[in-house]
Structure 1
Amino acid sequence: MESVIILVFVMGYLAITLEHSIKIDKLIPALVMMAICWALIALGLEGFSQWFDSSEHVLLEGFGSFTSDDKMHLMEETLLHHLGKTSEILVFLLGAMTIVEIIDYFDGFSTIKDFIKTKKKTKILWIFSILAFILSAIIDNLTATIVLISILQKIVKDRSIRIWFAGLIIIAANAGGAWSPIGDVTTTMLWIGKKVTTGHLIGYLFVPSLICMIVPSFIASFLPVFKGDLEVEEELETKKKSKFSSTMLYLGLGAIVFVPIFKMITHLPPYVGMMLSLGVVAIFAEIYSSSKFSLTEFDSEESDAHAHHSPVHQSLSKIELPSILFFLGILMAVAALESLGILFNFAESLQDSMPMLGTEMHQGSHKGVSDLVVLLLGVGSAVIDNVPLVAASLGMFHEPIDNELWHFIAYSAGTGGSMLIIGSAAGVVAMGMEKIDFFWYLKKISWLALLGFLAGAAAFMVTRTLF
């Protein structure tokens, strides 16, 4: 049964990558794959001999001897656990996307657009790469990608050129997210799991992450697509700017930055802070638009009337729900593989086939082989998903807090996902926002991401000797 589930996952994955060839939206195979994988688990529950407890990050012993009722109860709990964790990300994403849409409603991104005086493509490339690197560390790589691609859409009108910029934004955002405890889901997992501390994480990973961003941007600046100046449409210059543009931009970004602060103070999940931030931004948006609006409208005529005036209602209507559901399908399908211990066994097979990393990482031949294991983890995070792979590593390795192993895992899992467009949350969102083709990204951007990943990894191997 496990082989059948893996086969379903592979076929679903292929259908997602071949979206433009088979003319079926990637949302459909993602949801079908997720549902079938969990249905097969439910039907074959009696035959499984192992189960991965995601809440404890350990493989349960003696699962085969559990009663049918115990197995079913455990499966339901696991499914609920994964749905809860996935929903946290989706609700957080919905809040961030709505705030971005509200800022856009007031033309707030024109404020940043006004700061970018240059029309030279290489300068714009570096401006966006640096912004992505810094913003992702503060507001996380997912939100930073949403914000910057929204700004990019206002500045670069030619989509064939814009998707190149978007590809470099994905690389820079993932690099920026790796050195911050709140910049990426995986670094947050390691931080909350007491495997890394903020000071050491920044110390170990800032320089490697910076190099991971600089190398692809530097190489890309020599590519023909980034030569010359942007063509600006004259009618765009005459567009009247809202008097609340700057206010809403700073309020919206400030509200997003407030989310990790709220989390550190209250220890509540980030989506709670994001909902508070959305509520505050929505209040100001309603006041500025002088529109009476309730989030719950029962009078359809009144609701329709408000839809034309309320920035909140209009922003909610512009949310990319297909992208949200696609994210749900992917994460829950990967969760199915994780629950059966398939990902855990994959990571363990790497451990068994190569000399294991441990306290002897700086002694003898263990160092090179150990590095290869973690680099393969980075490649694996691009192919599958970095979250379950890091979750598996939390259960496998037992090194103390701030051991260099955890920091290298944070770097590899965080930046390795840039090598494929569906290898990271930032890439998935960019794919949805710009309708970027999987194979276009593979041909045009993946090699840049690989070079940046390897350059940053080499830098880590040097900088770790300083600690």
Structure 2
Amino acid sequence: MLYTFLIILAVLALLSIIFEEVTHLNKAKTTLFFGCVSWLALFMHAGDGEHSKLVAESLNENLLEIATLWLFLMSTMTFVAYLNAKGMIQIMVQKIFPQRVTVRMLMIQVAFFSLLLSAFCDNVTATLVSLGLLTTFKLDKQMRRRMAVLIIFAVNSGGVALITGDVTTLMIFLSGHVHISELLALFVPASVSVLLLAVLFSMNANGEVSTSPIKRSYQKVDVAIAIIFFCTIIMTMVLNVLFGIPPVLTFLSGLSIMFLVGHTARSDKEEIKILEYIRQVEYDTLLFFLGILLLVGMLKEIGTLNMLTEVYAMFDPNISNFVTGMGSALIDNVPLTAALLKAEPVLNTPEWLGLTYAVGVGGSLLVIGSASGIVAMSKVKELTFVSYLKYVPSLLLSYSVGYALTLFMAYEFFN
């Protein structure tokens, strides 16, 4: 009875996101409400004693994951908010992209920029920086939404080829099932699928767009903070690979250096302005993450994820991997991948590579299926759960082509 109630809560949370435009209830508030109620129900059902302690331990573990993500998002978004306010992102765009470009060429350029960026840094940072590019071009609402969807897919695709780009890729690599050289091969199907989606999206896109002129002046300290941001991204990868240092610790260190540089370069009044950029971080995004992860933690606690691993083992691994990728659009791919690794399925190298691609890219099929999608939905007003659904056929086709190409290459070279 309890499990049925909890699953109903998860479904209601999903429906609250879908019908946000109808109910006018903020999705961050509704998901947080259902997430909290689900854990309250778990505690009430547990009662006193040993079972209650186990639920408390599970909640603490869930909250630790959430707190880590919150701090990481806060530090990343603070950097981006500062650089965006100072016009540094726009200036970078003008250096990389031409002032006037056709919409079709812009789509391809932005797609590959997002793809490459996400291979070397986390999905959240790649999404925020890529979305920052869109603000420099004069795009209509429909085109901005289409570009945002393309960025989500490109960011998730870029992360599968390197252990620095996606947590699930790192998890599968650390489990010893794939090697770096094998993962690098995934960059080919990822690039092909992103190019396919860019072509599909640009079929009816005509005309040219131009960048908005930059009139803002910046100082040496702004350049210094931009360099600190870049170095923080690089050190996040290096320290994680060499010493296993969590990315959140490196980014918080970078943020502290940003504040110290601001203190030495500015007066007290100007330093307060730097601290104000933390307040510009949209806490709706953080609350939405909190609600979603509470619900995912609840599903993990009641064994729903374990049931999925049992279903996974019933079918051919290549089919199961494809469907698992689609399932990651509804359930966070990290606990889903963790549950699969814990089940220890017997797979060969091509099948492990197929799983790596599927869980990394499959979350793009729904806007709530990845961190990139959730961040984009909070940043692009035109992008909602319902409006995203019209792009699902193109996304599914691109995902399928990428997955098929992954299997073809894997069986051809690594079997």
TM over 0.5: yes
User: Structure 2: 5+ residue runs without aligned partners?
Assistant: none
Distance 1:192 1:90, change over 3 A: farther
* Distance in structure 2 (CA, Å) of the matches to 1:86 and 1:314: 24
Which residues in structure 2 correspond to 1:354-365 (within 5 Å)? 354=315
2:153 aligned partner: 171
1:389 aligned partner: 336
Matched residue of 2:281: which SS? Answer: coil
Matched residue of 2:226: which SS? Answer: helix
Residue of 197, 201, 209 corresponding to 1:220? 201
Is 1:112 matched up with 2:92?
Answer: yes
Is 1:161 matched up with 2:143?
Answer: yes
Alpha-carbon offset, residue 45 of structure 1: 2.7
The answer to whether the 8 Å contact 1:259/1:274 transfers is: yes
> What amino acid does structure 2 have at the position aligned with 1:111?
I
> What amino acid does structure 2 have at the position aligned with 1:229?
E
Alpha-carbon offset, residue 246 of structure 1: 4.8
1:277 aligned partner: 254
Residues 109-129 of structure 1: CA deviation (Å, up to 9, x unaligned): 122221211332112111111
* Distance in structure 1 (CA, Å) of the matches to 2:398 and 2:158: 12
2:317 aligned partner: 370
Distance 1:238 1:341, change over 3 A: closer
* Distance in structure 1 (CA, Å) of the matches to 2:407 and 2:177: 19
Residues 249-270 of structure 1: CA deviation (Å, up to 9, x unaligned): 3432232222121223332211
Matched residue of 2:245: which SS? Answer: coil
Superposed CA RMSD in Å reads 2.0
Which residues in structure 2 correspond to 1:43-442 (within 5 Å)? 43-45=44-46, 69-115=49-95, 116-117=97-98, 118-156=100-138, 158-203=140-185, 205-223=186-204, 226-230=205-209, 236-237=212-213, 239-244=215-220, 246-288=223-265, 290-292=266-268, 306=269, 310-352=272-314, 354=315, 369-399=316-346, 403-435=349-381, 436-442=383-389
Matched residue of 1:382: which SS? Answer: coil
Matched residue of 2:328: which SS? Answer: helix
* Distance in structure 2 (CA, Å) of the matches to 1:246 and 1:272: 23
Residues 110-158 of structure 1: CA deviation (Å, up to 9, x unaligned): 2222121133211211111111000001012221001110121122354
Matched residue of 1:383: which SS? Answer: coil
Alpha-carbon offset, residue 188 of structure 1: 2.5
> What amino acid does structure 1 have at the position aligned with 2:333?
N
Matched residue of 1:119: which SS? Answer: strand
> What amino acid does structure 1 have at the position aligned with 2:199?
F
> What amino acid does structure 2 have at the position aligned with 1:343?
L
Identity over the aligned pairs, expressed in percent? 26
Matched residue of 2:136: which SS? Answer: helix
Give the TM-score, by structure 2 length: 0.92
The answer to whether the 8 Å contact 2:116/2:158 transfers is: yes
The answer to whether the 8 Å contact 1:102/1:285 transfers is: no
Alpha-carbon offset, residue 247 of structure 1: 4.7
Alpha-carbon offset, residue 87 of structure 1: 1.6
Matched residue of 1:44: which SS? Answer: helix
Residues 228-263 of structure 1: CA deviation (Å, up to 9, x unaligned): 01266xxx5261332445554343223222212122
* Distance in structure 1 (CA, Å) of the matches to 2:239 and 2:364: 29
> What amino acid does structure 2 have at the position aligned with 1:104?
N
Matched residue of 2:49: which SS? Answer: helix
User: Structure 1: 5+ residue runs without aligned partners?
Assistant: 47-67, 293-305, 355-368
The answer to whether the 8 Å contact 1:286/1:310 transfers is: no
> What amino acid does structure 2 have at the position aligned with 1:100?
V
The answer to whether the 8 Å contact 2:81/2:280 transfers is: yes
* Distance in structure 2 (CA, Å) of the matches to 1:188 and 1:317: 32
Matched residue of 1:230: which SS? Answer: strand
2:36 aligned partner: 35
* Distance in structure 1 (CA, Å) of the matches to 2:247 and 2:330: 27
